[in-house]
Amino acid sequence: MKAITPDLEYLSTRQSAKVLQVSLGTVQKMVELGELIAWKTRGGHRRILASSLDQQLARRKRAMRQKTTQNCIALGIFRRAENSHELIESIQCWQLKVDMEISVDSLEGLMKAVSIAPDLIFLDALIPPVEQVHLIHYLSKNKDTQRIPILVDEGFIRLHPGVMGLADENTVGVRSQYPEILQEELENGLIDQNPLIIGYPATNPELEAALGNRNRHELLEPIFIQALNRKCN
């Protein structure tokens, strides 16, 4: 993790993302939620107060210390069982202790979420986008799961406004099985305005180049900690 040098009073969004080891979109969302203090220059560029980054890093460390005495329970919903193998392998090397429950079926995943009440839910990026919308809808509405952070692919977060329209295009001549209420919920911020929806980098060319031979799942530990912090707030 990169240190913030004393001579820096503020950083750009890109610099902040590198310090926190998260995506640009995640930094922007943290600013919107008040987790980071920022303002915009006359040219429209966002500047983030370095001291607020220090505070965010300190909160991570506190969460890490709190979690070393007990395991985080995470539920991973995957398209196929083999998709979970790299993540499970990476988790073994984390300081954060994670018990990962796996589901390879969305309905089973929803039932597990209710029964085990995990600390966070991880959605595989390979789950079809429309299916992810349904999962987020039900998890966000169920009283037993609506306060659980959900980790989803950043690419899906960017794509989601047009997901239901794509589904309709692919079912020409067939009565749509996706209710209009889902499209309305998307437009009303089901995903992009939900503080418990947290993006992770599943497909990021810049990140691929920076990682080299490392596994991208190694970068998920701080995102898991961020999710746990958000659940506690």
SS3 content of the chain, % helix, strand, coil (to 5): 50, 15, 35
In the chain, where the domains are located: 1-68, 70-232
Q: Which CATH class is domain 70-232?
A: alpha beta
Question: Does an H or E element contain 131, and which?
Answer: helix 129-141
Helix (H, G, I), strand (E, B) or coil at 13: helix
> Which overall architecture, per CATH, does domain 1-68 show?
Orthogonal Bundle (1.10)
Torsion of CA 112, 229, 218, 93, to 10 degrees: -80
- pLDDT tens per residue, range 181-199: 777 777 777 777 788 989 8
Q: Please provide the DSSP assignment of 59-125 as one string.
A: HHHHHHHHHTTSPEEEEEE-SSGGGGHHHHHHHTT-SS-EEEEEESSHHHHHHHHHHH--SEEEE-T
Residue 38 carries which side chain, given as an amino acid letter? Answer: A
pLDDT reported for residue 205: 54
pLDDT reported for residue 179: 60
- pLDDT tens per residue, range 45-62: 889 988 888 888 877 776
Q: For 68-77, 82-91, 155-164, which range has the lowest pLDDT when averaged over its residues? A: 155-164
Strand residues in the chain grouped as ranges (E): 10-12, 38-40, 46-49, 72-77, 98-103, 120-123, 150-153, 197-200
- pLDDT tens per residue, range 197-230: 898 887 655 555 555 555 566 788 889 988 888 7
76 pLDDT band (50/70/90 cuts)? Answer: very high
Token output for 43: 């040219």
Question: For residue 181, what are the CA distances in angstroms to 87, 116, 144, 218?
Answer: 34, 28, 21, 37
Across-strand partners of 25?
none
Same fold, 1-68 and 70-232: no
Are 151 and 200 within 8 A, CB to CB?
yes
Of 175, 69, 63, the closest CA to residue 120 belongs to 63
Q: Of all residues in the chain, what percent carry a pLDDT higher than 90? A: 15
pTM given for the model: 0.65
